[in-house]
Amino acid sequence: MYLFGFGSLINLASAQKSFKRALSQDDLIPVKIKGYERVWNALESIQFEEEKVNGVFLNIQKNENSILDGVVIEISQEELEILKLREKNYSCITIKSTDVINKNFDSDLIAFMTTNEKKIAKIGDVNTYIPNKYIDVVKEALKNYDDDDFVKGFEKTFTNYPFILKEGSYIFTDPVQNKVAREGMKN
C-alpha cells in the first residue's frame, strides 16, 4: 500500500521516526496529485515550555483546480497503524492512483487529511499558532529534492501565513502522539 505525504513526511528524518525499518531518500518518491491543495489549518494541542497552545499544521483539502506536490512511501499495514498514532487528528482518505499525474502506482494512495471541523483552525482563533520549528522541518526537507518543479510546488506554502508564527521547541500534549512523532519508533 502507498502513503501520500505532503508536510513533515517529506522530511526523511521526520518520516523515519514513525518507521522501524530504515528509510532512505529514495523511499520518498516525489509525485503530483490533481484535485487537492495544501493549507494551514490542522489543529493539534501542543506545548511550548509552560504554555499549552493550539498548533496549526499542514493539511490538504479538495480543490479541483489545484495540483499538489508531495511524496509517496510504500508502507505495510503495521506501519499504517503506527502512522495513525502520529496523525491522530487526521482522517485516512483515499487518493485515486489515477489522480497521480507524474507516476504510475498499482493501487490507490492513503493520505491523512483533517476532516473533523473541531480540528480545523479558523482565522481569528485565539491561542493558535504555527510552530516555526515545523516550518523548518518542511523547508529543510526541500533541500533533498533535485526537482526544482517539486520544490516550487511548496513556495506558496511559506507565504502569507494565516496564523501567527511561534518560535521555540514544542511537544504534542498527547504522549503517544508525541512519542511516535518526536521520539521515534526505534528503541
List the chain pLDDT tens, one digit each, 187 residues.
999 999 999 999 999 998 999 999 999 999 999 999 999 999 999 999 889 999 999 999 999 999 999 999 999 999 999 999 889 889 999 999 999 999 999 999 999 999 999 999 999 999 999 999 999 999 999 999 998 999 999 999 999 999 999 999 999 998 888 887 777 665 4
* pTM, rounded to two decimals: 0.93
pLDDT of residue 187: 45
Rounded CA gap, 107 and 23, in Å?
Answer: 21
pLDDT of residue 186: 55
Nine cell digits for residue 133? 520549528
Rounded CA gap, 138 and 155, in Å?
Answer: 11
Residues 6+ apart with CB under 8 A from 97: 104, 105, 106, 107, 108, 109
pLDDT of residue 49: 87
pLDDT of residue 177: 87
- β-partners of residue 62 are 36
What does DSSP say about strands 164-166 and 2-5: parallel, antiparallel, or unpaired?
Answer: unpaired
